Amino acid sequence: MSEIFKKTAVELQDEFNAGNVSAQDIARASIGAIKSVEDKLDAYVTITEEQALAQAADIDKRKQAGEKLGPLAGTTIAVKDNIATTGVRTTCSSKILENWIPVYDATVVKKLREADAIIVGKTNLDEFAMGSSTENSALKTTKNPHDIERVPGGSSGGSASTVASGAVNFALGSDTGGSIRQPASFCGLVGVKPTYGRVSRYGLVAFGSSLDQIGPFARNVKDAAVLLDVLSGHDEMDSTSMNRNYEPLVNSLDKGAKGLRVGIIEELRGPDGFDEDVLAALETTAAHLEKQGASVDTVSIPASSYGLSAYYIIAPAEASSNLARFDGMRYGLRVEGETAADTNELTREVGFGDEVKRRIMLGTYALSAGYYDAYYAKAQQVRTLMINDFAKAYEKFDVLIAPTAPTTAFKVGEVEDPMTMYLNDICSIPTNLVGGTAMSVPVGLDSKNLPIGLQIFAPPLGEDVMFQAAAALEDAVGYDAIPATNVYGG
Amino acid sequence: MTKITSDDVRHVARLARLKITDDEVETFTNQLEAILEHAGAISALDTEGVEPTSHPLAMNNVFREDIVRKSLSQDEALSNAPEAQDGRFKVPQILGEE
């Protein structure tokens, strides 16, 4: 029973349904595991032990009474700390929100509670989800359980780290330019950026509103499908959530790859700046899919070369506008000055870290008179070209593939220059700009024994075919979803 | 494209209500210059006549009947206020002295 925390969600649910373990056993095992490695991983901003145990007790009580439980009963989940949770502080790993206690649940959190997933805590992130290593957190630096000298990726690094350690079944992340997929890749997990509008953003602290999307981390494709099925759906509190119904993704998992047309994106395979092992994994992946009956060819998506450039105008522009609300007046930190304007400035000086300031200034610059046309308006046109180029590729291909990130996990402190850090997002950004879906699937280890993730892309609302390809790939690779338990020692 | 100067950085910091020191101005100028140089690559693309995309979805106005519904209570809305008084947010003086 002490090992129950290592099980995948679906395995654990089977044990729970069979009556071998209770929800309280599961909650205690998960929180025990989290606490035993937290000093090494620094994955959590807040561990919600009391609430988790109360929730588990309630689930057990309802099970005993013969009530029908939610689809995630018997599983545990951690939530990125930029997603609102009633009564539990939601910090965005920023000093400016360090003591903010939401009075409402994000819609995804409400859905998790209704689905009976036990919420065990709030995970660390790059401040306001701006970063690719979780080193930009103002609160702590999360480490990768596969090698605690290395970063877990970012910005959802705490979520990735804790799922990879096996301490929880699932985590929620948010993905504005790769913040779910890149850490999933670095930590050997499945991470999904859903189609823009599939999952409600209500209660997600806004970064880039036309790019942000909440999505799942899990240890295998099936678990990810189970969770995304719960998260998907229209929400009247988010006018950008699509009003439509979704077929369960778990129905797509056994279809195999036969007949699938797979395109390798020419522009997102380096070779400059890409690890040889990562590029080799791309070839192996293509071979695996071919062996499963898919046809594989390369495809050129010319505008995707400009994704990074367009993104680092559009995302900061949206961020500079979204983060204007942190003015020290209604909630969050206030550093009192003589006037209201002084108070604004002092609060934001103390409350924001350097990366957040950098992006606010960059966005303000790109939106300011004289530069608007050259930067922001132009970037929006590039976005249209990217949408068109991807749509053209999908006329000939069902899914596209590329590495998730150019490298595997780097060492804490290794990447200091902001522009070098941004280059990490080169393969993940295009999906956010076009509003499509993409997921990272672990395909093996590099020469340093670090996980390599491969990305599968599909057009907007193409999650079914993407999960079909991902399940076939996972099957062919035979990558074991065993957590990185070395971190527990002895 | 024109290079970003330290004066530009001071200007945008003021617009964005960020107080930054002289040392920071220099660091940020260099970093922003490197980022903008990369971003400026898009100027090479021919976008003549291309419609801009602000949002990946077709956005429509969402309407509902104007019916009063439950919302946050005054206490809830004020629960995170740095300072509150008599059911209101208390803020520093905004207009000049009387």
Residue-wise pLDDT for A174-231, tens only, equals 999 999 999 999 999 999 999 999 999 999 999 999 999 999 999 999 999 999 999 9
- Name the residue type at position A303: A
Confidence of residue A490 (pLDDT cuts 50, 70, 90): low
pLDDT at A2: 53
User: With a CB-CB cutoff of 8 Å, which residues 77-96 of chain B face chain A?
Assistant: 77, 79-83, 89, 91-94
The answer to whether position B31 is within a domain reads yes
The answer to whether position A381 is within a domain reads no
The answer to whether position A215 is within a domain reads yes
Q: Does A394 touch chain B (CB under 8 A)?
A: no
The answer to whether position A393 is within a domain reads yes
- Name the residue type at position A140: K
Of all residues in chain A, the percent with pLDDT exceeding 90 is: 95
A346 token code pair: 């002092």
Mean pLDDT for all residues in chain A: 96
Q: Could you report the per-residue pLDDT of A259-308, keeping only the tens digit for each? A: 999 999 999 998 899 999 999 999 999 999 999 999 999 999 999 999 99
Q: Could you report the per-residue pLDDT of B47-82, keeping only the tens digit for each? A: 999 999 998 887 778 888 999 999 999 999 999 999
- How far CA B11 is from CA of A317, A345, B27, in Å, comes to 16, 14, 15
Residue B95, pLDDT above cutoff 80: no
User: What gap in Å lies between CA A375 and CA A419, rounded to an integer?
Assistant: 17
Catalytic-role residue among A93, A179, A304, A320: A179
The answer to whether position A412 is within a domain reads yes
The answer to whether position A212 is within a domain reads yes
Q: Could you report the per-residue pLDDT of A317-366, keeping only the tens digit for each? A: 999 999 999 999 999 999 999 999 999 999 999 999 999 999 999 999 99
Does A440 qualify as catalytic in the annotation? no
The answer to whether position A434 is within a domain reads yes
ipTM of predicted complex: 0.94
Q: Give the count of domains, chain A.
A: 1
The answer to whether position B24 is within a domain reads yes
Q: Does A86 touch chain B (CB under 8 A)?
A: no
User: With a CB-CB cutoff of 8 Å, which residues 151-170 of chain A face chain B?
Assistant: none
CATH number assigned to the domain comprising residue A469: 3.90.1300.10
Q: Which of A153, A149, A150 is nearest to A133 (CA)?
A: A153
Q: What is the DSSP string of A181-212?
A: HHHHHHHT-EEEEPPTTTB--TTBPPSSTTT-
Q: Give the count of domains, chain B.
A: 1
Confidence of residue A1 (pLDDT cuts 50, 70, 90): very low
Q: Could you report the per-residue pLDDT of A57-97, keeping only the tens digit for each? A: 999 999 999 999 999 999 999 999 999 999 999 999 999 99
Three-state DSSP state, B69: coil
Does A179 qualify as catalytic in the annotation? yes
pLDDT at A4: 77
Residue B17 domain boundaries: 6-43
Q: Which of A133, A223, A213 is nearest to A171 (CA)?
A: A223
pLDDT at A480: 74
Instruction: Tell me which chain B residue has its CA closest to the CA of residue A421.
Output: B35
The answer to whether position B38 is within a domain reads yes
Angle A314-A317-A321 from CA coordinates, rounded to 5°: 140
The answer to whether position B39 is within a domain reads yes
pLDDT at B97: 54
A71 token code pair: 């689809």
Whether A379 and B54 lie within 8 Å, measured CB to CB = no
The answer to whether position A345 is within a domain reads no
The answer to whether position A358 is within a domain reads no
Q: Determine the distance in angstroms separating the CA of A121 from the nearest CA of chain B, rounded to an integer.
A: 21
Catalytic-role residue among A7, A63, A80, A193: A80
CATH number assigned to the domain comprising residue B21: 1.10.20
Residue B25, pLDDT above cutoff 90: yes
Q: Does B39 touch chain A (CB under 8 A)?
A: yes
Residue A139 domain boundaries: 4-264+274-301+389-488
The answer to whether position B54 is within a domain reads no
* Span A229-258, average pLDDT: 96
Optimal mutation site among B10, B45, B78, interface A, most CBs of chain A within 10 A: B45
**Which among A339, A382, A418 is the nearest to B42, CB-wise?**
A382
